[in-house]
């Protein structure tokens, strides 16, 4: 993929044009499905324009079944190639949804890539901390509560500006599975809210700097 450097980040489109999301996945696609459900029920004013999986997975198959434009991109793809792809599709915001790799952050997309982590960062984050491992760590720590964190992505695992957190109790007798399901229920409510908040921020910036610069 040939790279064409750009000087400006993309901007939300003209009035009436729903913001465009690129969703990145590696596994079953539960978070992707939830976001598409929220779009279809009208509670998230956006559209998923592109799904990117870094390997063949059931989430990729489910995305195609829902009629979403879907691609497999190799792990290790360059920041320049990602920026070119996203700009060509007019992507306003990139959303990680169980994407299990450290993503290179194109300069033009800083502040426009979000992730959700199934714990209250900065606790229980970092390399290798995903899925069941996170909930095992929470239980082993004796924490009284857990939850989820939506944050901007930077060049470190589970790092960057916190957008939104939500909490739930850790109950006596919890297993990694029972805690994980409780946290996932929180994620299903919290991620769409955080995405809407960031899209509102981006729209506000675009109004201060008139003109659609996605092209």
- Catalytic amino acids? 117
Largest CA distance in the chain: 55
CA–CA dist 213, 211 (Å, integer): 6
List residues bridging with 51 in a β-sheet.
23, 70
Read off φ and ψ for residue 165, nearest 5 degrees: -125, 150
Q: Determine which helix (DSSP H) or strand (DSSP E) holds 149, and give its type and residue range.
A: strand 145-152
Among residues 200, 138, 128, which one has the least CA distance to residue 163?
A: 200
List residues bridging with 23 in a β-sheet.
51, 95
CA–CA dist 115, 149 (Å, integer): 8
């Amino acid at each position: 993929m040939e790279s064409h450097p750009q000087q400006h980040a993309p901007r939300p489109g003209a009035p009436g044009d729903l913001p465009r999301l690129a969703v990145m996945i590696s596994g079953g696609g539960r978070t992707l499905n939830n976001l598409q459900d929220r779009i279809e029920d009208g509670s998230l004013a956006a559209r998923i324009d592109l799904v990117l999986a870094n390997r063949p997975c059931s989430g990729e198959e489910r995305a195609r079944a829902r009629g979403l434009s879907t691609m497999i991109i190799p792990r290790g793809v360059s920041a320049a190639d990602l920026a070119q792809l996203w700009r060509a599709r007019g992507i306003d915001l990139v959303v990680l949804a169980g994407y299990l790799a450290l993503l290179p952050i194109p300069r033009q997309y800083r502040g426009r890539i979000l992730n959700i982590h199934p714990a209250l960062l900065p606790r229980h984050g970092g390399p290798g901390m995903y899925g069941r491992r996170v909930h095992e760590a929470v239980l082993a720590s004796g924490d009284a509560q857990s939850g989820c964190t939506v944050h901007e992505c930077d060049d470190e695992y589970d790092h960057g500006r916190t957008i939104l957190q939500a909490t739930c109790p850790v109950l006596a007798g919890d297993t990694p599975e029972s805690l994980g399901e409780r946290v996932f229920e929180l994620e299903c409510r919290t991620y769409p809210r955080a995405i809407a908040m960031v899209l509102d921020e981006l729209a506000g910036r675009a109004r201060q700097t008139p003109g659609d610069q996605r092209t």
